[in-house]
Structure 1
Amino acid sequence: MSESTIKLYHFAPSSPSRGALLAARVIGVPVDVIILDLFKKEQLNESFIKINPQHCVPTLDDNGFVIWESRAIACYLADKYGKDDTLYPKDLQRRAMVNQRLYFDSSFLYPKIRAICYPIIFEGATEIKDKLKDDLNNTLNFLNQFLDANMWVAGDNVTIADTAITASMTALREVGWDFTSYPNIQRWLKDCATLPGYEENLEGAKAFGALVKKNLKQ
């Protein structure tokens, strides 16, 4: 397999996009990263719409097999290219736990981060509404509880649930969110800094955080 056979269409400030790329780095599968600047509407290029009519990132093209949605990409890469099943267990109960955490990120955690940040980036909002802040803090309480008995979000070893949630949480940290009430999350984030590709992820998270802080009333 040559490095150019797997293409990942990517935009670094996007947390889901970084989650897919971080998963690829942790799995150890080489991907050819193709940058699409969403602010320049490059995702609307005719050539990309032919690949993905939903024109979103991340999008994976593995020798003509095309799939999008960050966590679906991570599952596919782990199943196909993982050196073993540690990152995405084949045991049904352990896999179900990883899936639950992935769905927690996709349907619960990331949407609440997005609900706060996107109006600030794109709609001229300059403040965070108390209700949105409370909703997100309540969600962080759940994540902190997940980490009470586990070193990682879905058990005692790293899984693709950690790569997904790392992408979301590093973006939130770079926005300047206060994590002092969540000691387990603080500890886990320090551990995540050891993941392959973490620094690359952090660069994109910092870019996202800068976009939010630029418009946020201090």
Structure 2
Amino acid sequence: MSAKPILYYAPRSPPCRAVLLTAAALGLELDLRLVNVKAGEHKSAEFLKLNAQHTIPVLDDNGTIVSDSHIICSYLADKYAPEGDDSLYPKDAEKRRLVDARLYYDCGHLFPRIRFIVEPVIYFGAGEVPSDRVAYLQKAYDGLEYCLAEGDYLVGDKLTIADLSCIASVSTAEAFAPIESDQFPRLVQWVKRIQALPYYQKNNQEGLDMLVGLVKGLLAERQQK
């Protein structure tokens, strides 16, 4: 059994990057285990014992198995936050309710719309991204712009796991559905604020570049045929 929590992940995946960002914010070192989704490793008998839904990321914390990035982030923040510092995932019921609402917005609105763009290209041979899907993704920025009216972060003036989860999605979305600064000025500034975090480049940008490079490379290749 690993002394560190084990994370089964793929660096291109926005949900996996959200967990990497959360662990970095906590100063927590993970035992990273790469899962090759393209090769079907997430559907192997061994992996299905961990997560019957065959999705990544999956966390194995000394035998405690946690799936879904949002649940993993909240689990890590609850268990591994420094003593007396619950800022990433507040214990106060009202603040936690708001953090949870932003997490649900990510999993219910942001991330699914990204999947509608990238998965047809990666897995089903699509040669273009339909403009209506881009417009539909851009509509999801409205909710975040509204949240940022109350402070520098998605829940007031302190960084939470809601920011770390949503930036993994928003940074991916922006590569295919630009964020217009005149329409979403707070969101543009929020992105810059999160990008300035010392652990952002390693834990989000590197995997993001891999995903965007893959998708845009496949599109360019197919459009030349």
Q: Same fold (TM over 0.5)?
A: yes
Check the 8 A contact 1:58/1:70 in 2, yes or no: yes
Consecutive unaligned residues of structure 2, counting only runs of 5 or more, are none
Give the alignment partner of residue 213 of structure 2, picking from 207, 210, 213: 210
TM-score (norm 2): 0.89
Aligned to 1:177: 177
Moved more, 88-97 or 148-157: 148-157
1:40-51 aligned within 5 A: 40-51=39-50
Check the 8 A contact 1:26/1:196 in 2, yes or no: no
Counterpart of 2:66, as a letter, is I
Deviations 1:118-139 (A, max 9, x none): 1122222222323322221111
Q: Cα offset for 1:45?
A: 3.0
Q: 1:177 to 1:191 in 2, by over 3 A?
A: same
- 3-state SS, counterpart of residue 172 of structure 2: helix
Could you say what the CA RMSD is over the residues aligned between the two structures, in angstroms? 1.8
Moved more, 162-171 or 177-186: 177-186
Give the alignment partner of residue 195 of structure 1, picking from 175, 180, 197: 197
Counterpart of 2:152, as a letter, is M
Counterpart of 2:16, as a letter, is S
Aligned to 2:153: 152
Counterpart of 2:133, as a letter, is L
- 3-state SS, counterpart of residue 100 of structure 1: helix
Aligned to 1:142: 143
Distance in 1 (CA, whole Å) between partners of 2:86 and 2:156 is: 14
Q: Cα offset for 1:196?
A: 4.5
Check the 8 A contact 1:4/1:31 in 2, yes or no: no
Moved more, 95-104 or 28-37: 28-37
Counterpart of 1:191, as a letter, is R
1:38-187 aligned within 5 A: 38-83=37-82, 84-173=85-174, 175-180=175-180, 181-187=183-189
